Amino acid sequence: MEGDIVQMGAYIGAGLACTGMGGAAVGVGHVVGNFLSGALRNPSAATGQTATMFIGIAFAEALGIFSFLVALLLMFAV
Amino acid sequence: MADKVEGVAETAPGMPQLDFSTFPNQIFWLCVTLVVLYLILSRVALPRIATVLSERHGAIQRDLDKAEEMKRSAVEAENTYNKALADARAKANDIVNEAKVEMQKDLDKAIAKADLEIAAKAAESEKAISAIKDSAVQSVEEVANATANNIVDAILPEAADTKTIKAAVAARLKG
Amino acid sequence: MAKEEAGNGLVFHPMDQFQIKTLFGDGPVHWYSFTNVTLWMGLTLLAIFALLVLGTSRRAMIPNRIQSVGELAYGFIYRMIEDVAGKDGVRYFPHIMTLFMFIVFSNFLGLLPMAFTTTSHIAVTGVLAMGVFLSVTILGFAKHGLGFLSVFWISSAPLPLRPILALIEVISYFVRPLSHSIRLAGNMMAGHAVIKVFAAFAAVLAISPFAIVAITAIYALEVLVAFIQAYVFAILTCVYLKDALHPHH
């Protein structure tokens, strides 16, 4: 019984941790959207900045990856 | 958690990624793969691609240089052609001018010569005319003297004085 | 996440595809045993060999398709290093090319049906990321000595803020290998697991058309992700390399 409650807590925690991935989605969308709006204003400068965009995406995504990691650890390692 | 999962399904022991018993195997084979891949890439593949790319770049550069050279020689040829054309034109102008000057000179000489001849002929003619005039005047005097003598002879034969008659005729002719 | 719902016949085994098995014999997985990891890493190696060595063996002035793909990959990574890490980063071109080619081919080969994705394992990506992290750190100290520590001291920030920023920089520096490895493994694992979940739904007649369309769409997304994650891994390696070569902001 006690184990079941622990397991339930772990599953609920995993589900809650997954909301962090939504934040990462918002962040990545923000980066790309702003890049696109800037690129449409000045298309000639856009090609040189795609690498910077990907770096920004990677940094924004890293935090979502951490919440994914927390969810996985709660599911399988706790 | 772990025993619960094993109870549910034996085929899936949780997350295979967290099964630490397989880590040495993966890491070993990964290191082998990476070392082999690094050796292949750095010894064979990348130098070869670099040579191919630089050769192609060199060939393109060479072709471009050649094209540039050809363009330059074409421009040079055009320049020499234009220069030759201008030279020829200038030379032709010179020849025309020279010929003109020479012709003018010849013409001037011929005109001067003709003028001289005309002047000489005119002087000669004047001389002849004046001689004829003189002789004509003399003849008139002689005829007048003779006529006057004859007339005086006929009218007054004794009073005839040749000298007086001559003077009178001369006075008349002058007057 | 193994869950058998015997009631309606839905069988979810999204994680089974990541299991490591010995290919010859049933013994436990020793460090030397020939497993599916070995097989798929060997196939990755063969594919890269075929593209970059066999494909360019003609050394043609006018490349055929395979050779131009190889040259494209070469030029892509070369320009990326030049842009991000600078001219002196080009010395480490073979290392980054090795990483990129290994990851991109592992990702693409893992997308084949029944395939095993080596880069979906934290052990593999963790070794890659730790290798990058350690070599970049050692390189930074070897090149600049203790001056490498100025990477944490942002001289363009106002002085009172600098200690706080330095703390943040140190934390983010040591989190790098973690995010670097989990990003790749997590993306690969999540994509493949989602495909597997939809594949289980395809067994139910009522929703199987939807499930098959969804598998197709997710598969297309995964092809994109397979490339982008390899690119991101390589470009982040270049960023870290730039920090090691030019620590002064």
Q: Are residues A7 and B18, on separate chains, in Cβ contact within 8 Å? A: no
Distance CA C242, CA C234 (A): 12
Contacts of C41 in chain B (CB under 8 A): 29-30, 32-33
- pLDDT value of position C27: 76
H/E stretch holding A16? helix A2-17
Q: Are residues C44 and B19, on separate chains, in Cβ contact within 8 Å? A: no
- From C229's Cα to the closest Cα of chain B, the distance in A is 18
Which of C102, C133, C104 has its CA nearest to residue C228? Answer: C104
Distance CA C170, CA C87 (A): 26
Nearest to C186 among A48, A65, A75 (CB): A65
Residue B8: pLDDT band with limits 50, 70, 90: very low
Alpha helix stretches (DSSP H) within chain C:
36-49, 65-85, 93-110, 122-144, 162-201, 208-245
Residue B75: inside a domain, yes or no? yes
Nearest to C239 among A55, A57, A76 (CB): A55
| Ranges assigned E (strand) in A8-71 | none
- From B17's Cα to the closest Cα of chain A, the distance in A is 10
- pLDDT value of position C249: 63
- pLDDT value of position C8: 52
Q: Of chain C residues 28-57, which have a CB less than 8 A from chain B?
A: 28-33, 35, 37-38, 41-42, 44-45, 48-49, 52-53, 56
Q: How many domains are contained in chain B? A: 1
Q: Are residues B11 and C13, on separate chains, in Cβ contact within 8 Å? A: yes
- pLDDT value of position C80: 92
- Give the pair of three-digit tokens for residue B20: 């630490």
Does C81 touch chain B if contact means CB atoms closer than 8 Å?
no
Are C135 and B38 within 8 A, CB to CB?
no
Residue spans of the domains in chain A: they are: 2-76
- From C182's Cα to the closest Cα of chain A, the distance in A is 7
- Give the pair of three-digit tokens for residue B159: 């009073």
Contacts of B14 in chain A (CB under 8 A): 76-77
Residue B90: inside a domain, yes or no? yes
Residue listed under structure tokens 């072709």: B63
C-alpha distances in Å from residue B79, one per residue of A48, A68, B67, C143: 45, 75, 18, 59
Nearest to C179 among A51, A65, A75 (CB): A65
pLDDT tens column, B100-128? 999 999 999 999 999 999 999 999 999 99
- From B40's Cα to the closest Cα of chain C, the distance in A is 8
Helices (H) and strands (E) in chain B, counts: 4, 0
Distance CA B41, CA C49 (A): 9
- pLDDT value of position C170: 92
More confident residue, B158 or B171: B171
- Give the pair of three-digit tokens for residue C249: 């902001």
pLDDT tens column, A10-44? 889 999 998 998 999 999 999 999 999 999 999 88
Residue B5: pLDDT band with limits 50, 70, 90: very low
Distance CA C114, CA C109 (A): 10
Listing DSSP states for C137-205 in one string gives HHHHHHHHGGGGGGGSS-TTS-GGGHHHHHHHHHHHHHHHHHHHHHHHHHHHHHHHHHHHHHHHHTTSG
Nearest to A68 among C175, C186, C239 (CB): C186
Least confidently predicted of B71-80, B151-160, C19-28, C145-154? B151-160
Contacts of C3 in chain B (CB under 8 A): 8-9
**How many other C-beta atoms can be found within 10 angstroms of the C-beta atom of residue C5?**
10
The residue in chain C having the minimum alpha-carbon distance to the alpha carbon of residue A61 is C183
Strand pairing class (C3-5; C10-12)? antiparallel
Per-residue pLDDT of chain C (249 residues), as tens digits, is 444 444 455 667 777 888 888 888 777 888 888 888 999 999 999 999 999 999 888 888 888 899 999 999 999 999 999 988 888 889 999 999 999 999 999 999 999 988 999 999 999 999 999 999 999 999 999 998 888 888 888 888 888 888 899 999 899 899 899 889 988 998 898 889 889 888 888 888 888 999 999 999 999 999 999 999 999 999 999 999 998 998 876
φ/ψ (deg, to 5) at C161 = -80, -20
- pLDDT value of position C206: 87
Topology of domain A2-76 in CATH is F1FO ATP Synthase (1.20.20)
- pLDDT value of position C127: 94
- Let me know how long chain C is: 249
The residue in chain C having the minimum alpha-carbon distance to the alpha carbon of residue A76 is C1
Which of B23, B31, B42, B63 to probe the C interface (max C CBs under 10 A)? B23
Q: Are residues C56 and B23, on separate chains, in Cβ contact within 8 Å? A: no
Are C244 and C139 within 8 A, CB to CB?
yes
Residue B12: pLDDT band with limits 50, 70, 90: very low
Query: CB within 8 A of C117, min separation 6: which ones?
Result: C17, C18, C40, C106, C107, C109, C110, C111, C188, C189, C192
With b for 16 or more beta-carbon neighbours within 10 A and e for fewer, the C56-87 pattern comes to beeeeeebeebbeebbebbeebbebbeebbee
Nearest to B41 among C61, C94, C127 (CB): C94
Could you tell me which residues of chain B have a Cβ less than 8 Å from any Cβ in chain A? 1, 4-5, 14-15, 18
Tell me the residue type at C20.
Answer: I
Query: CB within 8 A of A76, min separation 6: which ones?
Result: B1, B5, B14, B15, B18, C1
Q: Are residues C182 and A51, on separate chains, in Cβ contact within 8 Å? A: no
Whole-number average pLDDT of chain B: 86
Does C74 touch chain B if contact means CB atoms closer than 8 Å?
yes
Q: Are residues A65 and C231, on separate chains, in Cβ contact within 8 Å? A: no
**Chains touching C by CB (3 or more pairs below 8 Å):** A, B
Which of C79, C78, C52, C82 has its CA nearest to residue C67? Answer: C52
Does A36 touch chain C if contact means CB atoms closer than 8 Å?
no
Residue listed under structure tokens 């690094």: B38
**How many other C-beta atoms can be found within 10 angstroms of the C-beta atom of residue C30?**
14
pLDDT tens column, A39-70? 999 988 888 888 888 888 888 888 888 888 88
Distance CA B168, CA B118 (A): 43
Contacts of A75 in chain C (CB under 8 A): 1
Which of C199, C138, C189, C177 has its CA nearest to residue C11? Answer: C199
Tell me the residue type at C81.
Answer: I
- Give the pair of three-digit tokens for residue C248: 């002064």
What angle in degrees, to the nearest 10, is found between the helix axes of C93-110 and C162-201? 30
% of residues, chain C, pLDDT over 70? 95
**Size of the B and C interface in Cβ pairs below 8 Å:** 142
Distance CA C226, CA C203 (A): 27
Q: Which structural domain, as residue segments, surrounds residue B19?
A: 2-130
Would you state the torsion angle of the CA atoms of residues C66, C70, C71, C77, taken in this order, to the nearest 10 degrees? Answer: 160
- Give the pair of three-digit tokens for residue C89: 């980063």
Q: How far is CA C16 from the centre of its chain?
A: 21
Distance CA C43, CA C103 (A): 13
Residue B2 above 60 pLDDT? no
C-alpha distances in Å from residue C123, one per residue of B7, C59, C136, C202: 26, 38, 20, 32
Would you state the torsion angle of the CA atoms of residues B48, B52, B53, B58, taken in this order, to the nearest 10 degrees? Answer: 140
Distance CA C186, CA B3 (A): 25
Q: Are residues C67 and B50, on separate chains, in Cβ contact within 8 Å? A: no
